[in-house]
Amino acid sequence: MRNAFADEITKMAATDPRLVLLSGDIGNRLFDKLRAQSPERFMNCGVAEANMMGVAAGMASAGLRPVVYTITPFTTTRCLEQIRVDVAYHNLPVVIVGTGSGLSYASLGPTHHSLEDFAIFRAIPHMQIVAPYDAPSLRAVLRDALAGKKPTYIRIGKKGEKDILPPETAVGIGKSVVAREGRDICILAVGTIASEAVKAADTLKKNHGISPEVVLINTVKPLDTGLLDRLAAKFKTVLTVEEHSKIGGFGEHVASTFAQKGIRNQIICMGTRDEFMHVVGSQEYARTVYEIDAPSIVKAVQQAMTTASAAE
Amino acid sequence: MHSDPKAVDLKTLEQLARTLRYRVIKTSHLSGTPHLGSCLSCLDLLVYFYWQILKIDPKDARAADRDRFILSKGHAAPALFQVLAERGFFPVSDLENYGDDGSLFGEHPPTPGYLPGIEAATGSLGHGLPMGLGMALASRISGKPYSVYAVLSDGECNEGSVWEAAMLASAQKVSNLTIAIDYNKWQATGRSNEVLNLAPLGDKWRAFGWCVSEINGHSFEEMQKAISDNKDDPRPKAIIANTIKGRGVSFMEDDNNWHYRTPNAEELEKAAKELGIAA
């Protein structure tokens, strides 16, 4: 995803003279092409994220289209006040990109995890919250974010994630794609954890005779409420999966939207527990620790199906 | 009144500053708006920037190549509002609803979309300089020649983001950025050199790679000299403006109670007399 980000930014910068990439002292080699192509539009702002975010807001107010890039906790919670005041309150079109989101940096420990970002940004007016699920999805939302004028937070993975869907199916901000068609239950996944959701659905179909539909969504806010209506009409149970705390995350957003609409369908929210992880490991390992990996999704779906049929 | 800055000499500016001081004090009395001491200490700087330095046109407040001014010490907005009105960004009469429910005029500036002349909705300290730096860098990147000015408070230099911006501005050799620090030696609850160790303030900015001048922040002549002496310096510029909190009214000067106190009718009358204003 990281390489797709650098590639897409470089391409867009070639045709959009307003685009400026601000980096918090990371990704130097990653942006070599951009620096060669438009040296004045790559700026290493150092390890000083609060200032970097303010600088981005100032640039946006003067007509540029800054994209701020660093490791997720440092482009979110580290400079939260600058995001809230300089970017969101001023309603400036700054694109904030967090790399290595969720548990991508599981081996670096909780200082580098980001499992609270959806919750925090959901409460900030004007902010769009975007979590693409693979590289083509990232390219599509990035193009969309720069075509629009809203403060946008894009949470991306690291490098080497496999594409989940063919590039031509990638959709822009606010839209969703059906990755697997099914009839028994809907799995609604946001961000890169979508790969686990798809894996789980394939296992459920092959080994357990359950036919789940998997819908991939790339936007937490604004939430596509039309999609929720359609899913509620078609499925008794909707299961959400995210690599984010269950508190204040995507699932809770869906659940509260259902509740406020009076939709009484069963909803199951899978996300990380309310605790920090004190051991290290791979992202795959961390997902098993927090029980959001494919086998955990399989188990949760089986359980949900049993509860649903018992209720009938 | 003095809408054409070219026609204004420094003597006239001094009279204008007295008038605006009185309006700020009167507004504080009528609306209960605090931070009077902070407003009076930076008012001369604001008058000088708005009538002598800034290339701005109140009739075209969003012109792409305008100079930008940011009041980074946003709590002195009551002074800025009076300056902007007098300079023609909006009618002075707009300020009559100051502090009322639903008014735009309170303790801090609103966002630029809501009031002509405002470049940044400051109020949280340590934000104005990074935003101003972004604007100054944007001038270079987009090839639009303009300058950016900001007034910071000394207490504001407690904020780490100020020094983050100072380092980036210097690393990027940003020459079209000038700040004035309203060095009135007070912050909300104590002497600014005691709360955090600010002194020597000029040396700190010099060490961060800035072109520094240290002046009397109530002298238009010294402001003029600081600006013209350094206008070709390739570094970002910091003017350490030594000021007096509550400047212009004897019983407010250097008395930090006026950070939060507002004047009663009798005090307003006394202030008017000292400023030579027929109330």
Which of B119, B130, B138 comes nearest A54 by C-beta?
Answer: B130
Whether residues A194 and A80 share a domain: the answer is no
Chosen for mutation from B139, B157, B161, B162 (greatest number of chain A CBs closer than 10 Å) is B161
pLDDT tens digits, one per residue of B33-52: 999 999 999 999 999 999 99
Choose, out of A40, A42, A55, the residue to mutate when testing the contact with B (most B CBs < 10 Å).
A55
Query: Which CATH number do you get for residue A298?
Result: 3.40.50.920
Distance (Å, whole) CA A262 – CA B98? 44
Higher pLDDT, A312 or B201: B201
Q: Is residue A212 part of a domain?
A: yes
Please tell me whether residues A94 and A235 are part of one structural domain: no
Has residue A111 been placed in a domain? Answer: yes
Assess B143–A contact: CB distance below 8 Å, yes or no: no
Q: How many CB atoms lie within 10 A of CB B188?
A: 14
Q: Could you say which DSSP state residue B241 is in?
A: E
pLDDT of residue B136: 98
pLDDT tens-digit map of A110-126? 999 999 999 999 999 99
A62 touches chain B (CB under 8 A): yes
pLDDT digits (tens, 9 = 90+) for A86-108: 999 999 999 999 999 999 999 99
Residue ending a domain, among A125, A155, A185, is A155
Question: Is A286 within the bounds of a domain?
Answer: yes
- Our CA-based measurement puts residue B70 at a distance from the nearest CA of chain A, in whole angstroms, of 11
Cβ pair B134:A56 closer than 8 A: yes
The CATH code of the domain that includes A144 is: 3.40.50.970
Q: Where are the domains of chain B?
A: 5-275
Q: Using 50, 70 and 90 to split pLDDT, how confident is the model at A130?
A: very high
Whether the per-residue pLDDT at B187 is higher than 80: the answer is yes
Q: Give B71-101 pLDDT, tens digit per residue.
A: 999 999 999 999 999 999 999 999 999 999 9
Same domain, A189 and A241: yes
Sequence-ordered list of residues with C-beta below 8 angstroms from that of B4, at least 6 positions apart, any chain: none
Chain B contact set for A89 (CB, 8 A): 111, 121
**B209 at A interface, C-beta within 8 A:** no
* Same-domain status, A149 and A177: no
> Is B103 part of the contact surface with chain A (CB cutoff 8 Å)?
no
Report how many domains make up chain A.
2
**Interval B163-185 mean pLDDT:** 98
Question: Is the per-residue pLDDT at B54 higher than 70?
Answer: yes
Whole-number Å distance between alpha carbons of A246 and A233: 24
**Is A225 in contact with A233 (CB distance < 8 Å)?**
no
Same domain, A7 and A87: yes
Q: How far is A199 from chain B (nearest CA, A)?
A: 45
* Contact state of A58 with B133 under an 8 Å Cβ cutoff: yes
CB neighbour class for A111 (10 Å; exposed up to 12, middle 13-18, buried from 19): exposed
Written in H, E and C, the secondary structure of chain A is CHHHHHHHHHHHHHHCCCEEEEECCCCCHHHHHHHHHCHHHEEECCCCHHHHHHHHHHHHHCCCEEEEEEEHHHHCHHHHHHHHHHHHHCCCCCEEEEECCECCCHHHCHHHCECCHHHHHHCCCCCEEECCCCHHHHHHHHHHHHHCCCCEEEECCCCCCCCCCCHHHCCCCCCEEEEECCCCEEEEEEHHHHHHHHHHHHHHHHHHCCCEEEEEECEEECCCHHHHHHHHHHCCEEEEEEEEECCCCHHHHHHHHHHHHCCCCEEEEEEECCCCCCCCCCHHHHHHHCCCCHHHHHHHHHHHHHHHHHHC
Asked if B160's CB is within 8 angstroms of A62's CB, the reply is: no
- Cα A232–chain centre separation: 23
Min Cα distance A151 → chain B (Å) is 15
Burial letters A201-227, b for 16+ CB under 10 A, else e: bebbeeeeebebbbbbbbbbbebbeeb
- Is the predicted pLDDT of residue A145 greater than 80, yes or no? yes
Band (B1; pLDDT cuts 50, 70, 90): very low
Let me know: does B71 contact B100? Beta carbons within 8 Å: no
**How many beta carbons lie within 10 A of that of residue B90, not counting itself?**
18
pLDDT of residue B4: 57
Whether residue A165 lies inside any domain: the answer is: no
Does the pLDDT value for residue A309 go beyond 90? no
* In a domain? residue A145: yes
Distance from CA of A245 to the nearest CA of B (A): 29
**Are A54 and B111 within 8 A, CB to CB?**
no
Element (H, E) at B211: strand B211-216
Least Cα distance to A183 among A229, A232, A235, A227 occurs for A235
Answer yes or no: do A57 and B124 touch at CB < 8 A: no
Q: Does A54 touch chain B (CB under 8 A)?
A: yes
CA–CA dist A241, A300 (Å, integer):
11
Measure the CA–CA gap between B20 and B114, rounded to whole angstroms: 22
Q: Which of B121, B135, B171 sits opposite A62 (nearest CB)?
A: B135
Report the pLDDT value the prediction gives residue A27, as an integer from 0 to 100: 85
pLDDT at residue A231 above 50? yes
Q: Report B:151-170 residues touching A (Cβ under 8 A).
A: 160-161, 164-165, 167-168
In the block, residue with structure tokens 């609409």: A261
CB contact under 8 A, A62 and B134: yes
A307 domain-assigned: yes
Under a CB-based contact definition with an 8 Å cutoff, are residues A142 and A5 in contact?
yes
Q: How confident is the model at residue B5 (pLDDT cuts 50, 70, 90)?
A: low
Residue A116's domain comprises: 2-155
pLDDT tens-digit series, residues B135-162? 999 999 999 999 999 999 999 999 999 9
Q: Which SS3 state, helix, strand or coil, does residue B124 take?
A: coil
End position of a domain, from candidates A106, A123, A155: A155
Query: Same domain for A213 and A277?
Result: yes
* Statement to judge: residues A139 and A180 lie in one domain: no
For residues A122 and A182, membership in a common domain is answered with no
- Among the candidates A155, A183, A206, a domain finishes at A155
Interchain contact B135–A (C-beta under 8 A): yes
Q: Name chain A contacts of B141, Cβ cutoff 8 Å.
A: 20, 40-41, 59, 64
What integer pLDDT is reported at residue A308 of this predicted model? 77
For the CA atoms of chain A, what is the radius of gyration?
A: 19
Q: pLDDT (tens digit, 9 = 90+) per residue, A167-211?
A: 999 999 999 999 999 999 999 999 999 999 999 999 999 999 999
| Confidence band for B6, pLDDT divided at 50, 70 and 90 | low
The fourth-level CATH superfamily of domain B5-275 is: Thiamin diphosphate (ThDP)-binding fold, Pyr/PP domains (3.40.50.970)
Asked if residue A249 and residue A112 are part of one domain, the reply reads no
Separation of alpha carbons A234 and A221, rounded Å: 23
